[in-house]
Structure 1
Amino acid sequence: MGRSIGGVKGATFGEVFAVKEFRVLFGSFALLVGGDVIKMLALSVLVYARTGSPGLSAAAYMAGWLPYIVGGLFLLSLADRVRPRALMVAGELVRAVTCLLLAFAGLPVWAMLALVLVTGLLSPVFLAARMAMLPEVLPGDAFVLGRSMLNMASASAQVVGLAAGGAFLAVTGPSGGLAATAALSLVAAVVLRTGLPNRPARGATGAGAVRETLRVNRRLVADRRVRGLLLAQWLPCVFLAGAEAMVVPYLGGQGAAGVVLAAAAGGMAAGQFVVGRFAAPPLRERLSLPLAVLLGVPWLGFALWPGIVWASVLAAVAAAGLSYQLGLQRRFVEAVPEEVRGQAFGLQSSGLMTGQAAGAALVGALGEVIAPGYAIAAAGGAGIVVALALAKALRPSPVPSTEGRS
């Protein structure tokens, strides 16, 4: 039974996992995240082995994220115009074929990067279809806990994916790592195809996909409530990503940086669990503002140049603040018309990816001018200022509603 506090019924993790469709979405999402981490790590190593260029190797690692910008701007309407199960299965099959071509087709480096960029254009569409299905299978507060579980799965799968990717690369080389990602994608495709019902598309077909995407994006951004919630989910994370991007130059070695970044992933998972499990829905929404501020505060400590232990503690506490987003999820679902829900979730994810890339670039540029510790502290300070500036959007409406938009 869910807990009822202040007249608002809160779900439990047990109730969430009792839903078969959520279990399918959760398991396939963990496979997706872990597989993508292995894929980009293996591609980066493969490009470096071919070229000996650190710059091209880094470009290969980031290539999987760059298409989110273009796909998010021009293709997201497909998430509402195609049946969601078909989209998700197609996404897994595209990933599998891409990895096999990268591993065994003997492509030149420019062709490998082009393949990743082109096939990645639909990645935000595939992800949007998955996220938009979540409130359909988990009504009410269960949806918020479902998002919490997916966030925890993402953090855990990234850590496991990096470890597994390193193991595969050590034993089989980068081609083996890419083949392993293809295998994970095929397993996920089977799980999705057999475990999900064939739900109809939410939106009607009509104008071209690009035109419709641009039209709906303008409509969503023009809505003051939706725009505020989007900015509240995007902007604080810009400076978190910027601070994390400076951890490697701050510590002067990727091994030590890996410890700090793993601690951040652990802090993120812990924050999602604690806020999702123990905070009742009204409290969860009231915590959004202070937790968003918390996202920036610990990074200020890097101005004192802490060692690896304290750096790990500060990073973990800061990343725990990401749980502020849980308090925005109900309001976001209610603010968005159901027929464009897929595109709205895609816009949310694409903006988040774009903002994180921009944050890493901005703080990285700052790190060229001042010492890395001070750049991290500056990112934390900027994050605090942004969270306070977004206070109106981060605070819940005076009378929380438990009714979802029909």
Structure 2
Amino acid sequence: MQLAPGQSNPPYFVMPFIGDNRFYKTAIADLDGDGTLDWVVKQPIESIDPYVDFWVPSGDTYKIEAYANDGTPLWQHDLGWSIEMGIWYSPYIAKDLDGDQQAEVILKTGEGDPRDADGKVTSGPEYLTVLNGKTGALIAQTNWPSRDGLGGYNFASRNQIGVAYLDGVIPHIIVERGTYWYMKVLAYRLDGNTLTEVWHWDNLVGAPEDLKGQGAHWMLAADLDADGFDEVILGSLVLDHDGTPLWTTGLRHPDYVYLSDLDPNRPGWEIYYAVETPQAANGMCMVDAATGEILWGFTEATTHIHFGFCGDITANHDGSECYGGERDDVAKRWLWSADGEILSNETFGATATSIGYWDADRQKELLGDHKITKYQGDILATALYGNINQVADIVGDWREEIIVFTNAALG
């Protein structure tokens, strides 16, 4: 990052890794109970997609590595050849599951080298695994949802992990397999060294059509209906805390899902959707998070809304602005107000691959193209080195830090 005139101390730190690889993902949590946030990274950087036109054989194996806050290496876990190199094959998170103030690392693992002649993993054992965050030692393990019934390699290779407070008190692990049409979802509670299944849900047999094909690239969890228990948001479908469907928009697969109090002028929370599946209407829309009722939506047809963000980037309108755009038509971009007014058709492009709270005001800044920019305003920083991996408040001052990766380092 380029320093301001007269600034001698850089407003960043650099943490080197073992080896010379760039890392791919990072989870942030207090692993050792000292009150500071530590790092769990996945490296090397590689992301293979299971779809037939994108898939290639893995050339290496992922390593999950834990580092203390100051960069001290804690442990490494090699996922081996049973986990192919791609985000869909290798979900992991860090979360304190047992209340001891030390986060566990929860991940999907396998066993041995079950690759077929092409290099795909289509058989062999798969596990939901919980590791001690401080030492990397095994705490608990159970079978991952099976590949059966999901419609072949591409769909069966889609896996996710999340956490939800299903009883309002204890964090539960949520695992999902399938995503694009059929889905299997299971909830587990960590009881000592045992993973106890709490409920499971799937849409394989007898499920209504509007419960199929609703999944997204990630899951979210929050108490949507203010009953004290978290719901699980699986794209356009929401499961209640007991694993039963709460609501679905039926809009199929969204590329972007943003949950928050997006519109402060109405009660409760909202969800903004940017939907990949072609729609006659509502390809970009905002819904009531408690009920799934569509509050407003785009009235024209869309083919593949592929770009989007949601956040308060201007003080000229209440609440969060919502952005969406067609994948294959740069002229079709829309910036919405929280109440559904089209504010502009501008193209943000590389200047807004992310947004975040950077300075002292209540509006988010645009992050991208190696700089930080106020919407319709000044450039606040340039020469932002590295590629953005995550934006989060890791210091605790409510403003957000930008986590980037470079060769063999995190900054």
TM-score range, shorter chain: under 0.3
Higher relative contact order (CA 8 A, sep 6+): 1
More helix by share: 1
More strand by share: 2
TM-score, with length taken from structure 1: 0.26
